[in-house]
């Protein structure tokens, strides 16, 4: 079987994990992981299912759902139903466990969609905004008083006459 460590991406951490989860169908049993980026189901019996069952390639697949692909999460009789590209039923158990999973997934999904503003993260495909134009030697203004400043070539610094200081 696949280890969760082999699947995780840089910066991805496991928030919640449960073993012995069944994908309904009835489908394979495995470990369900919620990370800060994805919902990952790793099939425990992948290789034995593959070798014994001709349709094992279908049954034995790991299920990896990016949180942004998940539209709704609801509880079922004995587990949770996750709506993404299609519907997945994960039998996590009854009582509190169903609600715990639904809450945890919704919480992580919300965090992934609305990251805290103090941690701006540039996506791998995005470039930072262009830098401001370089200061010209003819005009520049003092950040304190807004007045014009002079370039003092001797010290290679800008000097504001009203504030009487280098800026």
The verdict on 102 binding Zn ion (CB under 5 A) reads no
The verdict on 158 binding Zn ion (CB under 5 A) reads no
- The 8-class DSSP code of residue 104 comes to H
In whole angstroms, how close is the CB of 166 to Zn ion at the nearest point? 10
Cis peptide bond prior to 26, omega within 30° of 0: yes
Q: What is the DSSP string of 14-36?
A: EEEEEEEEEETTT--EEEEEEES
Among 145, 148, 150, 157, binds Zn ion (CB under 5 A): 145
The verdict on 163 binding Zn ion (CB under 5 A) reads yes
**Separation of alpha carbons 41 and 98, rounded Å:** 16
Cross-strand bridge partners of residue 124: none
The verdict on 142 binding Zn ion (CB under 5 A) reads yes
Nearer to Zn ion, 8 or 142 (CB): 142
* Residues engaged in binding Zn ion (CB under 5 A): 142, 144-145, 160, 162-163
């Amino acid at each position: 079987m696949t280890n969760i460590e082999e699947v995780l991406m840089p910066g991805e951490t496991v928030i919640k994990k449960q073993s012995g989860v069944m994908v309904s169908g009835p489908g394979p049993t495995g470990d369900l992981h919620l990370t800060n980026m994805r919902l990952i189901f790793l099939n425990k019996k992948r290789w034995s299912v593959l070798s014994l069952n001709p349709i094992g390639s279908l049954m034995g697949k790991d299920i990896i759902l990016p949180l942004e692909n998940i539209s709704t999460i609801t509880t079922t009789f004995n587990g949770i139903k996750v709506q993404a590209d299609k519907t997945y039923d994960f039998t996590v158990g009854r009582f509190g466990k169903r609600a715990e999973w639904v809450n945890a997934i919704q919480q992580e999904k919300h965090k992934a969609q609305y990251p805290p503003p103090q941690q701006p993260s540039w996506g791998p495909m995005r470039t930072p905004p262009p830098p401001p134009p370089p200061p010209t030697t003819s005009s520049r203004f003092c950040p304190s008083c807004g007045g014009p400043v002079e370039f003092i070539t001797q010290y290679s610094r800008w000097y504001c006459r009203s504030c009487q200081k280098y800026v």
